[in-house]
C-alpha cells in the first residue's frame, strides 16, 4: 500500500491517494481542492481511481470531488447524514447515481486493499473514518494532539467525545492520517491527546 498526501486549499486540508501497488488501483480520500494537483499525480503514476472516499461533507474536503469524478468516473462515497445537512445545490454529485452511502462496517474494495468504515459523528453528523491495513484515515474527528471543531452546524462535542473513545478502543496501533496537519499514531494520541484522554475518562 502506497499513501500519498497532498495539503490542498486555503484551509490546508489533507487529500490522501491510497494505492494498491500491484494493480495500480487507488482511492482518493477527501479531494478538497486543487484538482489539477490530484489528477496530475494520478496520470503521472498511471493510476486507476476506483473510489472517491469522503470522511465528511465540509467544503474544504469536497471542493475537487466533481472534477475528480468527472475525469475518472469513480463512484463517490459519503454518509447520507452529511448529505441531508447540506443544501442540495451546493455540489452536483450529491444527487447523482454515482454517490454511495457509507455506514458502519461497510467495506470498500480497491484492488487488494479494503477500506472499512467507522461512523464517527461529532464534527459533522455523518463524519466517518476509514481503516485500511495499519492506516486510519480520521478526517476531522482526530488530529495530532487535538480533534475537530464542533461549533459548525451539526457539530456536537459529546458526540465527538464518544467517537474519540470509539477510536481509542480500537485494538493495536495505527498510523493516523488526519484531515489537517501531520500524521500521528493512535498509540501516541491515546497517551497524549487531551481530548482523547478526556473521552477515555483519564483527564
pLDDT in tens, 157-185: 999 999 999 999 999 999 999 999 999 99
Percent of the chain with pLDDT over 70: 92
CA distance 106 to 123: 20
Domain boundaries, the chain: 2-199
Look up the CATH superfamily of 2-199.
Ribonuclease Z/Hydroxyacylglutathione hydrolase-like (3.60.15.10)
Global pTM reads 0.94
pLDDT of residue 90: 47
Three-state secondary-structure class, residue 108: strand
CA distance 53 to 31: 9
pLDDT of residue 203: 64
CA distance 168 to 134: 15
Three-state secondary-structure class, residue 138: strand
pLDDT of residue 91: 52
* Cα 25 → chain centroid: 18
Amino acid at each position: 500500500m502506497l499513501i500519498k498526501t497532498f495539503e490542498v486549499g486555503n484551509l490546508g486540508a489533507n487529500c490522501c491517494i491510497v494505492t494498491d501497488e500491484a494493480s495500480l488501483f487507488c482511492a482518493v480520500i477527501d479531494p478538497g481542492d486543487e484538482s489539477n494537483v490530484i489528477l496530475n499525480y494520478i496520470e503521472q503514476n498511471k493510476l486507476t481511481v476506483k473510489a472517491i472516499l469522503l470522511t465528511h461533507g465540509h467544503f474544504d474536503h469536497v471542493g475537487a470531488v466533481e472534477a475528480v469524478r468527472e475525469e475518472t468516473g469513480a463512484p463517490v462515497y459519503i454518509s447520507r447524514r452529511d448529505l441531508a445537512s447540506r443544501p442540495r445545490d451546493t455540489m452536483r454529485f450529491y444527487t447523482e447515481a454515482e454517490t454511495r452511502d457509507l455506514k458502519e462496517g461497510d467495506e470498500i474494495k480497491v484492488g487488494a486493499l479494503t477500506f472499512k468504515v467507522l461512523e464517527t459523528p461529532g464534527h459533522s453528523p455523518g463524519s466517518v473514518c476509514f481503516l485500511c491495513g495499519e492506516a486510519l484515515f480520521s478526517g476531522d474527528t482526530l488530529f495530532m494532539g487535538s480533534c475537530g471543531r464542533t461549533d459548525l452546524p451539526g457539530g456536537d462535542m459529546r458526540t465527538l467525545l464518544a467517537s474519540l473513545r470509539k477510536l481509542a478502543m480500537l485494538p493495536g496501533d495505527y498510523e493516523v492520517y488526519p484531515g489537517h496537519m501531520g500524521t500521528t499514531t493512535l498509540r501516541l494520541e491515546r497517551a497524549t491527546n487531551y481530548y482523547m484522554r478526556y473521552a477515555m475518562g483519564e483527564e
